[in-house]
Amino acid sequence: MSVARRAHAYPNVRVDAAGLVDVAVAPASPTIAVGAALRLARTRAAGAIVAGERWVLREDLARAAALGLGDLPAAELARALPVVDARADEVAVRRALADGAPMVAVRDRRGPVGAVARPAAARRPEPVASAAARVARHVPADALRLLAEAARLAGAHGASAFAVGGLVRDVWREAPGARRDLDLVVEGDGAAVARALAAALGGRLVEHARFLTASIDAPGFGRVDVTTSRTERYEAPGALPRVLPAGIGQDLARRDFTVNAMALELASGTFGLLDPWGGRLDLARRRLRVLHPLSYVEDPTRVFRAARYAARLGLTPDRATRAALALALRLLPYPALSGQRLAAELERMLAEPCASSALTSLGRAGAFRLLASGYRFTAAARRRVGELPAALAWARGRGLAVDQVGLATLALVGGQRPAVAAAALARVSPPGEPRDRLERALDASRTLAARLGAAATPSARARHLRGLAPVELAWHWLAGDQAVRATLDWFTGVAGGPAALTGGDVIALGVPRGPAVARVLAAVRDARLDGTITTRAMEEEHVRHWLAKGG
């Protein structure tokens, strides 16, 4: 047995960045394409290539190849990895990984040495902090009971439950107000846990087996979404993914933004925060960050979600996220992306208090080229988007049930080239009467002001507006000048009011049943609007005169 000698100097053990390297890198031409770069990485057993001065991860090359983007320049997928000197202390490397970097690049004076990777996503991340105190302050008692019941039922099924989504974001940033919906992820049989939870809550359950999801309408609480933890594979840009059950680590790795890639574990009751990608730091820095360069290419609807989160949470996309958007827009169009999915994102956006600012940011970024490739966000569109909430409020105040997505689309495409406008309307509106209404509204807005101005009487003005759908009226209010808006205010306030006489009344006066009843009532209503009739007696006299003239 050896014994340490007193006063003897022992060397300190110091691990530098070079000693931590666990990822080989391969140098490559700055112009190398994805397919060739992936073959090179596989041949060299490299986890990354360095194309010129740009670092590209092998996993991103594989993702691009799976999407059919083998001819894309690999440099388009470059990541801004933190770079440390080979002699730097390991603390610098650990700190960069803790901030959510997928790798830390290591260099010496001769060039790249290699990289240090973060722990594999397949492994369950360790909680980095407890959110118990925050949960106690900000989650209401009924939601806490629901979370506890979900954890209990998951355990009974040999599974683990996690809270994800908005609740985690709001708890961690200590946002005021309680959410009335919950998103749960179950590592295990999520469908079985969802059924048990629905039975315990007395709620209505809807399952979506293809996506391993279920929704519970919980009486007295709201909506609870339960998802089996899963991984995703995208086989074409913009297509819906194929999903497979996976661990919670892979589930968090498949998500759109770091601020959504966090979870609270529920089994222990301490609400440990799983944050493998640095979402809490991004919340603190008010930063919106995608998890990889092809995030928007895989699912372009994330562009709309990014605008919602940025406006609602006060987040700013970082440089890599802006580059990911630019790449996605360069790869337009996306034949596999359905208009129904875009319309659903527009509908969610319109439910936000900050809808106008979110739509404006999308327009400035060029994102509405997802609706039609030739789209240009004009000053007129910017003005209409800014006034869209006022137009919707105007419609609600007059009891008009407006197609909100249709109105928003009109606000965006008014003034575009006809082919662009038609393509955008066809993208988000189903064929038939819904789309016909929008096309009529767009066409009529070019001449409506002149026709209303030329009308000599109130009834003549009303005839130009009568029979229009609510979305058409709201569009004309949004697109019109002050004179048009005043006329619409008048029309929706008084012009729809009925005459004192009813159909039965005019039949009793001698009008034959059939179309004549509607004609005589319309004539009475118009005379009311023009002020030539003011009483019921005058209406009756008008009908007798109409009959005397032979109708």
Tell me the pLDDT tens digit for each residue of 368-404: 999 999 999 999 999 999 999 999 999 999 999 999 9
Residue 77 is given by DSSP the state G
- pLDDT at residue 4 above 50? no
Contact 359, 385 (CB under 8 A): yes
- pLDDT at residue 128 above 50? yes
pLDDT band at 5 (very low <50, low <70, confident <90, very high): low
Tell me the pLDDT tens digit for each residue of 199-249: 999 999 999 988 999 999 999 888 999 999 999 999 999 999 999 999 999
Highest-scoring range by mean pLDDT, 389-398, 485-494, 537-546: 389-398
End-to-end CA gap in the chain? 123
What pLDDT score was predicted for residue 446?
A: 86
- pLDDT at residue 310 above 80? yes
Tell me the pLDDT tens digit for each residue of 33-47: 999 999 999 999 999
* Mean pLDDT (the chain, rounded): 91
What pLDDT score was predicted for residue 498?
A: 61
What pLDDT score was predicted for residue 372?
A: 95
pLDDT band at 517 (very low <50, low <70, confident <90, very high): confident
The continuous run of DSSP H or E covering 83 comes out as: strand 83-85
Is it true that 17-117 and 129-282 share their CATH fold?
A: no
Tokens 């090179």 map to which residue? 40
The continuous run of DSSP H or E covering 403 comes out as: none
Residue 66 burial (10 A CB sphere; 0-12, 13-18, 19+): middle
Q: Which class does domain 129-282 fall in?
A: alpha beta
What pLDDT score was predicted for residue 12?
A: 53
Token reading at 402: 């407006």
Q: Tell which CATH classification among 2.170.190.11, 3.40.50.150, 3.30.450.20, 3.10.580.10 matches the domain 17-117.
A: 3.10.580.10
What pLDDT score was predicted for residue 3?
A: 46
* Spatial separation of the C-alpha atoms in residues 182 and 130, rounded to whole Å: 19
Contact 343, 430 (CB under 8 A): no
DSSP H helices in 44-138 = 58-66, 90-98, 132-138
Tell me the pLDDT tens digit for each residue of 435-446: 999 999 999 988
Look at the alpha carbons of 345, 346, 351, 355 in this order and tell me if their dihedral is positive or negative: positive
3-class SS shares of the chain: helix, strand, coil, % to 5: 50, 15, 35
Q: For the chain, which residues make up each domain, given as ranges?
A: 17-117, 129-282, 372-379+403-495, 503-548
